[in-house]
Structure 1
Amino acid sequence: MNMPDESAILNKVTHSVRANQLIHQFGVGAMIHFPDQVLMSAAPEFWESDVTPIYDERLANRLGVRYFGLPISVEGDNGKHRMAYVRFPQWYYCPKCKRLKPMDEWVKEYRIKASDAEKDNDPYMVKDPHCPSCGKHWKLVVSRLVTICEHGHINDFPWIAWAHKRGKDKICDHPQLKIYTMGTGRYGFDNILVKCETCGSLANLSGIMDKELFEKLDNEEEQRFKCPGNHPWKRMKEGCDCYPRVSLRGASSVYFPVVKTSLVIPPFTTDFNELIQLTDAYDRGFQNYCKAMEKNRGEDRIQEIIEDTTEEIVKELANSNIKEDAIKEQLKKSWMNQDENAEEDMDEDQRFREEEYDALDGEAPNADASNFFKREEQKIEPYQETIPSLKQVVLIHKMREVQALIGFSRINPVSGPDDKDHFVCIKELTTDWYPGYQVLGEGIFIRFDELQIEKWISQYKEKLSARANTIKDNYAKSFYTINGKQTITVKFLFLHSLAHALIRQLSFECGYNIASLRERIYCDKGDGTGKVMTGIFIYTANGDSEGTLGGLVRQGYKETFPDIIKKAIEKARYCTNDPVCSLSKGQGIYSMNLAACHSCLLLPETSCENFNAFLDRGVLIGTMDDTEIGFFSKGFDTYKNK
């Protein structure tokens, strides 16, 4: 693993992270806490160019890139790690001599005092950060404090300016800082003192978590504490007129990743194009194609690359009887498709979900033509004997999901696709790929009878709408947005809450850990636009290398699944926090849940695509003061067709 500034190769064992973590909590622009130091994931432009490519034509077209890159190779124990880091935070202190200064000054001291052998082995003190004066036994300790601003910048805490903040103190010419613990009975930051040994200026850290701290300290003549506009993950600074906030480097508000996910589905993927994409010739040709596009080589060069790649693929697949013309046409479709048939007036996310919905329920053309998407539709009559409202049950024996990291924000999550002031894109405009990760797994897709749901909603319209409007109002007042602007309807609350109840029950039945299961909700907006959708897809989020262990799909057969639904609903009727939970008028983040808490419906946040928001047991089983409004309040045969 490389650092773009010092280009040091770090230990693969001690400085490795899982591939999926590089797309989520430890993505580009996030700090990673290793045993000896804290590093920040660098921009994709610093990664080695031969990242393992991941192909998903549908998601790539949506995001305007050509492919996705996995920074860790898949070559087994000998695989090469291609991730790059930068050093951040820069400020470290020695616990023995108490000196506090940026790493480049520690390195200068190290290069003076270290032996030639040490400097040859670790010229920039990347592998073993220690105090050059106190010896290797005294490891340098990274600063716990950083400053962040709403535009996504992150900077070191202004230690020098803070030490000289008293009155009209001017910063001395050669500040030398030390940090002390006063030990006077105080606690927290009040007990920490920063002192300049050169001029004697000092200040403790009292009040540093005040949101308007720096704005109060600055004056018109001198503005020491404005945001420097630092993006250390890509080694650049830009202008910023904000006053930043102080934060602990491990606080959740420091990094909110923006991740887009996609199911790789027919007709966008088939056995034929997957066979082609798995060849070495395809990877080489695709890399040449991307380079040609970057340099605007022209159509003649593109056609030449396609011709050459086709010949190499034919040789590699000599025993498969695939025609050369078919390969050539597939390459043109995969590389040069611009999604010209997309409906401009349709919401992009809605169209994306509708395509997946059609593949899951079998309406998509060639729905069974992919080796990475294997579906088995069940006869619905045995299920309806217990759950009359079910309309379709489909077992997905094999599926592939692609996750792409496109950006992040700090302080608050981005408020939607148009929130350009807070959203920070992780790549340059000329870079034609995003960091990506894929998982092979299995799942269960269920679809409910739309007419029965409409009948239930119309019967209790006033009370159900009031509950949905409460969540909708709290959502509108918040600064929180999940996967774009979510449309809150009674049907969506029903599907989402039921998905959580099912995941909690399935985790007891199938052998997968609850954090290994994920949901995908298919619900229309209820405004008459687009396809009517009433479905839930529950799938494994981290299957093994073969794609599935089979434990989840096995629970979807008629002998077991109806009872699992019954158990899930019965468990949802009772919560150890009742009556408080059942009668809640708003709980969870920004009060965007009603009757839902950690004892009854909440899941690990990796399992919920809405991060545990928009949940309500009341729409499933009613509430303690209104027991009849839930869809399953009166039993499972209440809405059985007569």
Structure 2
Amino acid sequence: MTKNAQRLSQLISTFGPGAMIDLPTRSVVVAGLEFWEMRANSFTTIPEPRLTARLEQLLKDQGRLDPNVSLSLRTPPVATDNATGMPAGVIAPIFPTWFVCEQVEATTAATGTLRRRRLVRWQDLDTRGRRKFVFDDGRKSEVTPIRFVCACEKGHLQDIDWRWVVHGAVQCHEPLWVEEKGTSADPADTSIVCGCGRNLSLQDAFQPGRLGKCRGERPWLLDRDPNGCGDNLKLLTRTATNTYFPQVYTVISLPSEEDDLTRLVDELSGDLGNVQTVEDIAQAKRFNPKVSVSLGAYPDAEIFERLKRLREGARADAARSPKMSEFDVFASGRQQIGHNHPTAKLYAETLPRTAWVDPSVDVDTSAIKNLVVVHRLREVSSLYGFTRFEAAPTSSDGDIEDIQLAVRGAPISRGADWLPAIEQFGEGLFIHIDEQVVNHWLQAPDVVNREVSLLRGYGHWRARFSGGAPNYPGTAYTLLHSLSHALMAEIALDSGYPASSLKERIYALSDARNGGVPARCGILIYTATPGAQGTLGGLVAAASRFSRILRNALDRQLICSNDPVCADHEPDGRSGDRATHGAACHGCLLIAETSCEMRNLFLDRSLLVRTMARHQSNFFDQ
């Protein structure tokens, strides 16, 4: 991989449109979808009707997609060897356009040694490569992009107008310098100094309104927001983690094959996205070799009938939480789920209790109704927007209304009829928890008291979201989420999988729209990677040792290396994300955020076992 290349998964997560990337000599911002070089052979259409229908509905409701346009999912362009020209790629405009010279001038002042470096613009650099600045005396200096830019909560991004910030309305053409003292890189020790004597401390730049009003600039789309803006700009460190939070929607593919024709149409549904009539099927066969080879032997009317049936099912599925559909498939109790075929999207088996319950292991498994081994699964993820400063609130059940709470999310295109997506394959374990046992546990007085404390913490946490936050996911969700993290850590030790390669989906779902008693309780722990790690079979093999894994996972939660501080932690009255935690920290329950569906929120091991704080709210007697 070259220095200027990114993985497909990075382009729909860490470095999607609107994200800034450091290159060896400058910084760039990843351009919007209109500037991706989507040549005929550089991308693949991903068929996933459930996800496509869901996102199409979301974008049309937000006014980001024309009501008469059908959405499709495509992989990012893949750079292949091309002897006749440049390989396909993604355009990345230069940003920011202010640079700092690497040549340092040191001066002595009453407060100590001051180091200053010249602050210059892109157009001031030499025309041969734009890598050096030439001083008036002929000296040349390498340059690096300045670390600071500004943005607003709507995702708009722009260069700081340093001359205006330092001088206001006063015109001045003296050179600007970045002046530093000490070695802490504290904003109070860094100033922008003009040759005329005016200066600005970066600590003052954090004051509201000090950087001026936002002009709605969107450098990744090379335009300005047609709706304007006018919000106060905020100082943003270019390499900080709060510069970019992707909005990614993920589903687990479900089996839909009734026969060979339905399976083929399902696989090609992405290529048939624009088909609206039987006559369009004939045109697709004529102009798309893939469709012609796969479906050439079938009548056009039958193909169109299967396609309509798949679309109607996807639209009906889009009206409810995607997790409900997934749970109903995994918890169906069928011995075999899907078909054992190399091209199958999902193949799983519901194990008899004798296959995973070990009588010699002292652990109570009565609350677990079924254990399902998922031999093969397919995960499809699509990027549809991003936020800055704060990540969009995460919904526990993927409900469309909760997703729309992130109304300040920025678009990744001006109106493209497709979204970038990737498909990954893997395996997993689905643990079906008895809903009646969970509901009986929720009614215990000690659990009710613990829930009151968790609700007070949730109230403090949601106050930080001006646009609204998701509903409280429920104490049952916190229980299952905590159990999932405990099991993931133990499975990583048992199976040899890297902990960061494991993922989770928590099912604590109520039939009511506004929550309530959970009617579906389960946990899916799985891997899904483009490489071989997702299909090594380690999770499936762990099913026979599940009793021992469960006992060891619970035993590890009895004592945390940060006890008694961790065990005594109360969520009420706390600030930030800690307000959503009970007894949980990096020593016991917190895992890599790439593995957690809720960004390590809503965790409490006192709901699992009895900690040294002696809360009586534990679900397991350990």
TM-score tier, shorter chain, comes to 0.7 to 0.9
Match of 1:100 in 2: 119
Match of 2:45 in 1: 53
Match of 1:435 in 2: 420
Conservation of the 8 A alpha-carbon contact between 1:310 and 1:327: no
Match of 1:565 in 2: 550
1:458 Cα offset (Å):
2.2
1:390-469 matches, within 5 Å, as 390-415=368-393, 416-419=402-405, 421-429=407-415, 431-460=416-445, 461-469=447-455
**1:68 and 2:39 correspond:** no
**1:329 and 2:319 correspond:** no
1:196 Cα offset (Å):
4.3
Match of 1:7 in 2: none
**1:181 and 2:151 correspond:** no
Instruction: Mark the CA change 1:68 to 1:515 in structure 2 (over 3 Å): closer, same or farther.
Output: same
Query: Residue by residue, what CA displacement relative to the aligned partner does 1:321-373 show, whole Å, maximum 9, x if unpaired?
Result: 76665444344555x658453585xxx4x3x1111112222369994147121
Q: Distance in 2 between matches of 1:605 and 1:269?
A: 38
**RMSD (Å), alpha carbons:** 3.5
Instruction: Mark the CA change 1:32 to 1:204 in structure 2 (over 3 Å): closer, same or farther.
Output: same
SS where residue 236 of structure 2 aligns?
A: strand
Q: Distance in 1 between matches of 2:187 and 2:240?
A: 16
1:138-153 matches, within 5 Å, as 138-153=141-156
Conservation of the 8 A alpha-carbon contact between 1:52 and 1:73: no
Instruction: Mark the CA change 1:337 to 1:230 in structure 2 (over 3 Å): closer, same or farther.
Output: same
Query: Residue by residue, what CA displacement relative to the aligned partner does 1:254-286 show, whole Å, maximum 9, x if unpaired?
Result: 22211111111122898755545767xx87x54
**1:82 and 2:89 correspond:** yes
Q: Distance in 2 between matches of 1:209 and 1:425?
A: 27
SS where residue 286 of structure 2 aligns?
A: helix
**1:91 and 2:98 correspond:** yes
> Which deviates more from structure 2 when the two are superposed, residues 28-37 or residues 376-385?
376-385
Match of 2:535 in 1: 548
Match of 2:208 among 193, 208, 212: 212
1:301 Cα offset (Å):
6.6
SS where residue 302 of structure 1 aligns?
A: helix
Instruction: Mark the CA change 1:13 to 1:136 in structure 2 (over 3 Å): closer, same or farther.
Output: farther
Query: Residue by residue, what CA displacement relative to the aligned partner does 1:424-461 show, whole Å, maximum 9, x if unpaired?
Result: 121233x2211112211110001112222222222344
Q: Distance in 1 between matches of 2:134 and 2:371?
A: 66
SS where residue 10 of structure 2 aligns?
A: helix
Match of 1:227 among 214, 226, 230: 214
1:393 Cα offset (Å):
0.5
Conservation of the 8 A alpha-carbon contact between 2:192 and 2:199: yes
Query: Residue by residue, what CA displacement relative to the aligned partner does 1:61-99 show, whole Å, maximum 9, x if unpaired?
Result: 001153222214286999955222121111113223844
Match of 2:483 in 1: 498
Q: Distance in 2 between matches of 1:480 and 1:364?
A: 45
1:305-320 matches, within 5 Å, as 305-306=283-284, 308=286, 313-315=291-293
SS where residue 372 of structure 1 aligns?
A: coil
Query: Residue by residue, what CA displacement relative to the aligned partner does 1:273-305 show, whole Å, maximum 9, x if unpaired?
Result: 5545767xx87x54xx64xx8xxxx85873543
Instruction: Mark the CA change 1:139 to 1:267 in structure 2 (over 3 Å): closer, same or farther.
Output: same
SS where residue 59 of structure 1 aligns?
A: helix
Could you state the TM-score of these two structures normalised by the residue count of structure 2? 0.81
AA matched with 1:103: W
SS where residue 597 of structure 1 aligns?
A: coil
Match of 1:359 in 2: 329
Conservation of the 8 A alpha-carbon contact between 1:472 and 1:488: no
Conservation of the 8 A alpha-carbon contact between 1:266 and 1:364: no
Unmatched segments (≥5 aa) in structure 1 = 1-11, 115-124, 216-224, 636-642
Instruction: Mark the CA change 1:207 to 1:365 in structure 2 (over 3 Å): closer, same or farther.
Output: same
> Which deviates more from structure 2 when the two are superposed, residues 181-190 or residues 227-236?
181-190
AA matched with 2:17: V
Instruction: Mark the CA change 1:623 to 1:234 in structure 2 (over 3 Å): closer, same or farther.
Output: same
Match of 2:588 among 597, 600, 607: 600
Conservation of the 8 A alpha-carbon contact between 1:603 and 1:612: yes
1:616 Cα offset (Å):
0.4
Conservation of the 8 A alpha-carbon contact between 1:377 and 1:394: yes
SS where residue 566 of structure 2 aligns?
A: coil
AA matched with 2:377: M
Conservation of the 8 A alpha-carbon contact between 1:68 and 1:433: yes
Match of 2:162 among 159, 162, 187: 159
Conservation of the 8 A alpha-carbon contact between 2:254 and 2:326: yes
Instruction: Mark the CA change 1:343 to 1:609 in structure 2 (over 3 Å): closer, same or farther.
Output: closer
Conservation of the 8 A alpha-carbon contact between 1:359 and 1:367: yes
Instruction: Mark the CA change 1:274 to 1:453 in structure 2 (over 3 Å): closer, same or farther.
Output: same
Query: Residue by residue, what CA displacement relative to the aligned partner does 1:363-422 show, whole Å, maximum 9, x if unpaired?
Result: 699941471211021102454554121101001111110111111112223355344651
Query: Residue by residue, what CA displacement relative to the aligned partner does 1:15-50 show, whole Å, maximum 9, x if unpaired?
Result: 112221211121111111222221111101110123
Q: Structure 1 vs Structure 2: percent identity of aligned residues?
A: 26
1:569-588 matches, within 5 Å, as 569-586=554-571
Match of 1:523 in 2: 508
- Between Structure 1 and Structure 2, how many residues are aligned? 567
Match of 1:117 in 2: none
SS where residue 146 of structure 1 aligns?
A: strand
Q: Distance in 2 between matches of 1:302 and 1:496?
A: 47
Could you state the TM-score of these two structures normalised by the residue count of structure 1? 0.79
Q: Distance in 2 between matches of 1:68 and 1:442?
A: 23
Q: Distance in 2 between matches of 1:477 and 1:604?
A: 25
Q: Distance in 1 between matches of 2:185 and 2:534?
A: 51
Match of 1:246 among 235, 238, 242: 235
Match of 1:388 among 366, 372, 375: 366
SS where residue 492 of structure 1 aligns?
A: helix
Instruction: Mark the CA change 1:313 to 1:171 in structure 2 (over 3 Å): closer, same or farther.
Output: same
**1:261 and 2:246 correspond:** no
Match of 1:170 in 2: 170
Unmatched segments (≥5 aa) in structure 2 = 57-69, 105-116, 394-401
Q: Distance in 2 between matches of 1:74 and 1:400?
A: 24
SS where residue 45 of structure 2 aligns?
A: strand
Conservation of the 8 A alpha-carbon contact between 2:191 and 2:200: yes
1:471-486 matches, within 5 Å, as 471-479=457-465, 485-486=470-471
Q: Distance in 2 between matches of 1:514 and 1:34?
A: 30
Match of 2:521 among 501, 514, 534: 534
Conservation of the 8 A alpha-carbon contact between 2:510 and 2:518: no
Q: Distance in 1 between matches of 2:257 and 2:99?
A: 51
AA matched with 1:479: F
SS where residue 575 of structure 1 aligns?
A: coil
